[in-house]
Amino acid sequence: MGCSLVGDNQQLPPTSYFESAASDDSDDEEQEFYENLLDECSNLSIMIPRTLSWHYRSQDESLIAFSNQEFYNSKLISFPNPVKDASRGVHFHPVEGGIYDRGGRGDNIREAEEIAKLTVQHFKQHTQQSLGIITSSKQQAKAIWEQLKQISIKHPEIEEFCQENSDKFFVKPIDDVQGDERDVIFLSFGFGFDNKNPGKLNHSFGYFSKKQQDLGKRRLNVAITRARCKFVLVASIKDVNISAGVSPQAALIKKYFAYVQSGGQKLDEKSDDDLSHLDLPFEEDIYQVLTDRGYAVKKRVGRSAYPIDLVVIDNSQAETEESLLGIVCDGRTYSEYPTARDRDRLRQEVLEKLGWRIYRIWSCEWDRNRDSQINRLIEHIQNLCNQK
């Protein structure tokens, strides 16, 4: 008889920290945490660790790409979208004039007001999408609830959505959201220039600055991985205001701000050389065949270790770079999937659910019957074009 213990040591252990009366901008070390059962068991020789590598939640790769690189050593398998969609992914919403009331209420009223406005906008435009608002502190969560109550007087239609303990909506401080997920997440960072030192940023970012057990970093990981479709960082500062040299926690926060401000593009991952390199000569041959015939083709599309080998772009949708066809081959990406089920069925099923049209080419067939394989591929692409 055996047992399985499931957990994630890059997220939060059990804690009663929010029951503490300590202020968010205190530099004192956190109170002692309960022993982490996951850590204890991982040290036992009889326990064999297994990593669950497939990531299904995020409907846009930018939602998980930062955490995949910074926390999971790029071992998670994520899946690209066939079209650029502004309603998905990571977004930055700057707040002008936001002041953090350090030593007072411990909140950022201007930011809370902006969050309330964004909430009204969300439920007017996307009534079917759930929304979660994550805050950096209990005080900021309270300030947002106060602003929501005020704004609902002018917009009573949002009252049915903005209910506490609702599956459709929540406002919670960071330590209360582990395990939660919503279609859209707003993160109210809260911290910024304060009333005590105008124009000078205090790099004490409350719970996000905690060093013990890397809990500050782990809180950031929890906060930025709760969204299925869209994540919006709402903040009164930008990456240029943060000094990476202050602490490892500040460096990570600065890096994430830069990532979100770039729309999820600025990430230390694949170089241009990596993107231009295909695994096998026959894949380069396919690329050359298609480009010689005037098709726009991208190589190795995707941000995880298992990209789509070749993607034909729909020329009629050039602005959105909508993908017409994804071509998968049996090169290194294919061979590194651990089982035939993963290689031949699961991956394609997930991609097709995201809207991809997938076409498979086997190297042996291409080598034996190159001309007929080319004709079949071109005919398939033309049929897709004619369906538009």
Q: Is residue 370 part of a domain?
A: yes
Query: If we measure between CA atoms, which residue out of 83, 80, 81 comes closest to residue 322?
Result: 83
Q: Tell me, what DSSP letter sits at residue 186?
A: E
List, in sequence order, every residue forming a beta bridge with 134; answer none if it has no partner.
Answer: 172, 187
Q: Dump pLDDT digits (tens) for 228-247.
A: 999 999 999 999 999 999 99
Does one domain contain both 184 and 311? no
Q: Which residue has the tokens 């279609």?
A: 183
As a whole-number percent, the residues of the chain with pLDDT over 90 amount to: 61
Does one domain contain both 382 and 243? no
Q: Is the pLDDT of residue 332 over 80?
A: no
pLDDT greater at residue 114 or residue 345: 114
Does one domain contain both 370 and 313? yes
pLDDT greater at residue 266 or residue 301: 301
**Structural domain of 345:** 272-387
Q: Dump pLDDT digits (tens) for 24-61.
A: 444 444 444 444 566 666 666 666 666 778 888 899 99
Q: Cα separation of 199 and 196, whole Å? A: 10
Q: Cα separation of 327 and 81, whole Å? A: 14
pLDDT at 1: 54
Does one domain contain both 46 and 172? yes
For CA atoms 8, 9, 13, 18, the dihedral sign is negative
Does one domain contain both 244 and 190? yes
358: domain CATH number is: 3.40.960.10
pLDDT at 272: 47
Does one domain contain both 222 and 279? no
Does one domain contain both 37 and 153? yes
Instruction: Report the run of H or E that residue 230 belongs to, with start and end.
Output: strand 227-235
Report whether 380 contacts 359 (CB < 8 A).
Answer: yes
Q: Is residue 75 part of a domain?
A: no
Q: Is residue 106 part of a domain?
A: yes
Q: Cα separation of 121 and 73, whole Å? A: 37
Does one domain contain both 217 and 337? no
Does one domain contain both 234 and 355? no
Residue 173 is encoded by which pair of tokens?
A: 């401080």
Does one domain contain both 253 and 279? no
Does one domain contain both 255 and 281? no
129: domain CATH number is: 3.40.50
Query: If we measure between CA atoms, which residue out of 13, 20, 27 comes closest to residue 249?
Result: 27
Number of domains making up the chain: 2
Which residues fall within 8 angstroms of residue 208, CB to CB, at 6 or more apart?
A: 136, 174, 191, 216, 219, 220, 249, 253
Does one domain contain both 172 and 297? no
